[in-house]
Structure formats: structure tokens, C-alpha cells
Amino acid sequence: SGSSSKEIREKFLDFFAKEHLHSRVPSSSVVPYGDPSLAFVNAGMNQFKPIFLGQAAPQHQRAVNSQKCIRVGGKHNDLDDVGRDGYHHTFFEMLGSWSFNDYFKKEACSMAWQLLTQVYRIPPQKLFITYFGGNQSLGLPSDEECREIWLSLGVAADHILPFGMKDNFWEMGLVGPCGPCSEIHVNKANLETSLARTLVNQGTEEVVEIWNLVFMQYNRISNQVLEKLPAHHIDTGMGLERLVAFLQNKNSNYDTDLFLPLIDAVHQISGGVPYQGSYDMQSAQGQRDWAYRLLADHSRMITVALADGAFPDNNHRLRRVMRQAMVTSRKWFNQDASLLLELSQRVADMMGGVYPELSRNLSNVHMLLRFEEDIFRDHLAKSGREWSAIVNQFPELSALPTDQQPGLIAGLRQLEDWRRSSGSDKISGSLAFKLYSTHGLQEDSLQLLVQLKGWNVDWPQFHQLMADERMSTKIQSSAAVSSQFQCATSLKVAPTVWQCQDVCSRNAEGHYT
Ligand code: ATP
Ligand code: MG
Ligand code: MG
Ligand code: MG
């Protein structure tokens, strides 16, 4: 079908809202207020977590939305895949549907099948279904009920496959709501069934996962402990970009109307060699095309995160994505931050209809982009000569992201001082943590540095300090969170940030009033 992404998104929302009586709810902010377990909202269900855990009553029995999601850290981290494959983004839209203690598996599978095969008219033989095959050490049985349901809906037996914890037991993070799931994969390359079924969940572009139906039944308390939830719920999430690529008959998500206008804008503005869709990282064209994809991806993420109030100074992941975008636009397209300003304008133009906050907060986005570019330029100017000397000695370090340079320079100096005074090859966790908190030196960069020097680090102590810091950051910002909760309570709505943002405004300290 030649449908636009806009039509495809609307069809999903309409199907659940009109034909199956789900209430349409807005996307929450990507900044997860009041949840210390998350860096960014990574799935549509995040805003409903209190409902699943039995801590809040649902406002609706059924809900549907399109949620802004970011996966650059924690359990779900796709940052390193971006641009290297055609279907993992830092930011993506998740089309979601929910039943809160209302209908369960059978109806959920049946609705999904109806939408895909009748509304989107996908031929059933192009779809593959996975279900949870059980886990002995956790005492979890295979979900045979799920398999039977799909058979009863008419899915061919050789299109239904069991998988284990990694693929078919969905978890929000290290702790939190979770449950067995059933997923739908599409055979994009029209391969024979016998071959296509072997490629499900193998990380290839030919057969790609599009939709996850989670049967919420547990709360993960710790590594070995799952607690049963007070009630059962349905939580589904489908990646809009992947669905659109499939329905528009494109190999890659970047070839759809969600990304091509951004790629075109980079080309128009920079006037260089046009995008050719190559993924061959050994060739110059492939590397340039990767740079195009990276900018298209990162400009969406940066615009959304900044518009939702994430700040690069206390969010190292966001700063890293911003710096990677700045380095890429300079290196491959010879452009300064004005390119990113222009791209964020296009992102707001393209998505502002669905997420009005993008247009509303665009001036903040631009201000922060300019600000970050100034700091970054300063850093690079100061580090110039010292950095070349270090790279001469350890060329491996030049492969690390540029944003790590200031931390590596300071780190090398401080580590040498420390070793001289302590006489030990083992770096204390607190020094490692200090380098992280004052210079943004990431664990993987430090690891490489000490390896090259033949030293090591007290990692357990480092990790403990990291965990402590995460909790205390949340406590410091809890004043803002509690004023938001208060505001939400006075409005008699669930404490999700979007309801607050629409009726309240923030004062200078970031508190809602
Ligand atoms: P994958 O196995 O491809 O990494 P996932 O199993 O991690 O995906 P889920 O957590 O099940 O993904 O999320 C539900 C849906 O969201 C996926 O089926 C997919 O369509 C979409 N999705 C997940 N991660 C991304 C991403 N980084 N970029 C775009 N879409 C994504
Ligand atoms: Mg994943
Ligand atoms: Mg998966
Ligand atoms: Mg999945």
C-alpha cells in the first residue's frame, strides 16, 4: 500500500478507539518523572506502570496511543546500532494498546491479527508469530495457550515459533512490570517460509519484529525473584517506523516519509554527494550514508528530548547524542550547529501535528542546541595540543567519541598522579567515579584507557557510587516531581506529566505551578 505514515498511524489509533472502544490518550513526555529506574521513557507502558503494579486505579479500561520512546541506555540501549541497521533508532514512535484488567490474551491476539490482515491488508503468509517457550530456573511454563490461540485464528503451524526469556519475556528494566509476550515478525524480503522462519529474531533486515503483545502478570523484584501482579493486563507496542517501512515496501526505515525529508534537508543544505542508501561501512559512500542516517535519527531524538525538558548537563546520554550529531555534521557535511537547528525545525514541522509540544518548545530546543555547541567548541579548543600528544601514544583512543576527549585528558593526568602517590595498579572506584561525574568520562572509555596502560579499576566500588548518585539525583529533583504530583492530584488525574504540562506551567526552578 502507498499509505503515508500519517495515515498508517491514524489507522492504528482509529482501529482500537472506534472499533474496539479504547480511549485515546496522549504520549507522555520522554522524561520519566518520578521513576529512578529509567533514563528515558522506553515504551508506551511506562506511564501506566503504577496501574500495573496496583498502585493507581486505571482511568480507562482500555487505552490506545502513539508514544514517544527513546532507547539509549539501561536494559534497552540501541545507540550503537543506529545508522548501521535500518530499523533501530534512538527515538521512535511506539503504537500501543492496553487492557487494564479487562480483556486478555485471546482478544489481544485476535485484534492484532484483524488489524494487520484486514485493515493493513498484510498477506498472512508474510507474518510470523513467536510465543514464550518457558524457563525452568524461574519455574515459568511454556505459553501453550498462546500458541493455541494463534492456531485458532488461522495462523499456519509453521509460522508459530517458541523463544526464551531474551525475546519472549518482556521486561521494562532491571526491575518493574513484566510478563511473557507474543510477537509478530514480518518477512520483508519475501523469502520461502522454510528459510524465513529460521531468520526470526536473528537480527537480519529480511525478517523484522514489528509488534510485541505483552501479557503483564509479574513484577520483577530482583534477579531471581518475580512476584505475581494483583491483576492481569495487556500491553502492546508496535514500532511505527518499521510498520511504515514494511507497508511502503521499503528495505529500510530511512527510506520512508518519516526520515527521507530529513536526509534530503541535509543534502540540500550541505550540497555534497547525495544519499544512496548504502550500508557498506567499508566504503566511503557507506560511511557518508551512515552519517546521513545518523543525523536524521539524532535530530529527531534531540528535538524530542529537549522539547520535553531533558537537559544535557545532567543527562550524559543526551549530551553524547548531541555531540555525536555535531561531530558528524562537521566531519561529513562541513556544517556547524545551524544544520541541527534547521533539522529540528523540520522535525517540528513533520511531527508537531501529532506532538504539539515539539512546535511549542522549539525555541528552547534551539537555545539549548546553540548553548551546547558553544561549550563543546570551547572544550575542543582547550584540549587540542594535549590530545594530539595522547593519540600519538595511544592511537586506539582516537576511535572513542570526541566528547570523551576532555575526560580522557584529565583522566590520564589524574590517574598518573594517583598511581605515583599510591604505588598501586588498581585505580580506586571513587577516582573513576570522580572522572565520570566531573568530566563525563564513561565506563567504556576509562576501561580502554586503563587497559592500554596495563592498570585496572575497582569496578564494584565504581558501580556502587553510580547507583548512589542516580538515587540522589532523583531525590534532589523530587521537589519538582512532588509539585507535579500535587498538581495532578488536585486535577484528579493520574500523575503523568502530560496532563500537568497542558494545564500548568513551569517556574524558573522547573517546578510546575
Ligand atoms: P528488537 O528485538 O528489534 O531490538 P525489541 O524486542 O527490543 O526489538 P520491544 O521492546 O519488544 O522491542 O518493543 C516493541 C516494538 O518497538 C518492537 O517490536 C519494534 O517494532 C519497536 N522497536 C523497539 N526498539 C526499537 C528501536 N530502537 N527503533 C525502532 N523501533 C523499535
Ligand atoms: Mg531491542
Ligand atoms: Mg526483540
Ligand atoms: Mg520485542
How many whole angstroms separate alpha carbon 464 and alpha carbon 470?
A: 10
- The verdict on the CB of residue 88 being under 6 Å from ligand 1 is yes
Question: Per the structure block, which three cell numbers stand in for 73?
Answer: 541506555
CA 502/CA 498 separation, integer angstroms? 6
Distances in Å between the Cα of 302 and the Cα atoms of 267, 294, 297, 326, 364 are 19, 12, 9, 11, 12
Closest atom, ligand 1, to C-alpha of 81: 27
Q: How far apart are CA 350 and CA 359, in angstroms?
A: 10
| 193, 125 contact by CB (below 8 A) | yes
Which of 88, 200, 241 most suits a substitution to test ligand 1, by most atoms within 8 Å of the C-beta? 88
pLDDT recorded at residue 480: 44
Question: Quick one: cell of 425?
Answer: 595498579
Residues 6+ apart with CB under 8 A from 291: 83, 328, 331, 332, 333
Kindly state if the Cβ of 300 falls inside 6 Å of ligand 1. no
- Going from the Cα of 320 to the center of ligand 3, the distance in angstroms, rounded, reads 25
ipTM: 0.99
Our answer on whether the CB atom of 406 is closer than 6 Å to any ligand 1 atom is no
Q: Residue 180 burial by CB count (10 A; 0-12/13-18/19+): exposed, middle or buried?
A: buried
Tell me how far the alpha carbon of residue 403 lies from the centroid of ligand 4, in angstroms. Answer: 31
Domain range annotation of the chain: 5-247, 259-379, 394-463, 477-513
> Secondary structure of 374-424 in the HEC alphabet?
HHHHHHHHHHHHHHHHHHHHCHHHHHCCHHHHHHHHHHHHHHHHHHHHHCC
pLDDT at position 381 is 77
Task: Say how far apart CA 240 and CA 244 lie, in whole Å.
Answer: 6
Is the CB of residue 96 below 6 angstroms from any atom belonging to ligand 1? no
Ion ligand 4 residues within 5 Å by Cβ: 212
How high is the mean pLDDT in each 10-residue block of the chain (513 residues)? 90 98 95 77 92 90 97 84 95 98 97 98 98 93 97 98 96 87 98 97 96 96 86 97 98 98 98 95 94 98 94 76 90 93 98 96 92 83 82 82 83 91 90 87 90 92 81 46 43 35 41 40
- pLDDT at residue 369 in the model: 93
**What is residue 143's three-state secondary structure?**
coil
Going from the Cα of 210 to the center of ligand 2, the distance in angstroms, rounded, reads 11
Ligand 1 contact via 83 beta carbon (within 6 Å): no
Residue 317 in contact with residue 444, Cβ under 8 Å?
Answer: no
Nearest CA to ligand 1 atom 16: 239
Q: In this structure, what C-alpha cell is assigned to residue 341?
A: 537547528
CB of residue 239 inside a 6 A radius of ligand 1: yes
For helices 5-14 and 240-247, what crossing angle results, to 10°?
120
Q: What is the pTM of this model?
A: 0.83
Q: What residue owns the CA closest to ligand 1's atom 9? A: 212
CATH classification (class only), 5-247: alpha beta
The minimum-distance atom of ligand 1 relative to the CA of 42 is: 10
| Dihedral pair phi/psi, residue 415, rounded to 5° | -70, -40
